[in-house]
Chain A
Amino acid sequence: QVQLVESGGGVAQPGRSLRLSCAASGIRFRNYIMHWVRQAPGKGLEWVSCTSHDGSGKFYADSVKGRFTISIDDSKNMLYLQLNSLRPDDTAMYHCVGEGGGAFDLWGQGTVVLVSS
Chain B
Amino acid sequence: QAGLTQPPSVSKGLRQTATLTCTGNSNNVGGLGGAWLQQHQGHPPKLLSYRNNNRPSGISERFSASRSGNTVSLTISGLQPEDEADYYCSAWDSSLNAWVFGGGTKLTVL
What does DSSP make chain B's interface, helix, strand, loop or mixed?
strand
**Which of A44, A95, A108, A110 counts the most chain B CB atoms within 10 A?**
A44
Q: A59-B97, A61-B98, A102-B35 are in contact. Are A45 and B50 (CB under 8 A)?
A: no
Contact A104 B45, beta carbon cutoff 8 Å: yes
Residue of A nearest to B91 (CB): A103
Which residues in window 85-100 of B have CB below 8 A to A? 86, 88, 90, 96-100
Q: In the complex, A95 Cα to B1 Cα: how many Å?
A: 19
Nearest CB on A from B12, distance (A): 21
B109 within 8 A of A: no
B24 within 8 A of A: no
Contact B47 A44, beta carbon cutoff 8 Å: no
In order of increasing CB-CB distance, the 10 nearest A-B pairs are A103-B35, A102-B50, A107-B44, A47-B99, A103-B50, A44-B104, A45-B101, A44-B103, A62-B1, A45-B88
Q: A47-B99, A50-B99 are in contact. Are A102 and B47 (CB under 8 A)?
A: yes
Contact A107 B98, beta carbon cutoff 8 Å: no
Contact B37 A104, beta carbon cutoff 8 Å: yes
Contact A104 B47, beta carbon cutoff 8 Å: yes
Residues on A with C-beta less than 8 A from B102 are 44
Nearest CB on B from A48, distance (A): 9
Contact A104 B98, beta carbon cutoff 8 Å: no
Residues on B with C-beta less than 8 A from A50 are 99
Complex partner residue of B56 from A47, A105, A108, A109, CB under 8 angstroms: A105
Contact B1 A45, beta carbon cutoff 8 Å: no
Residues on A with C-beta less than 8 A from B35 are 102-104
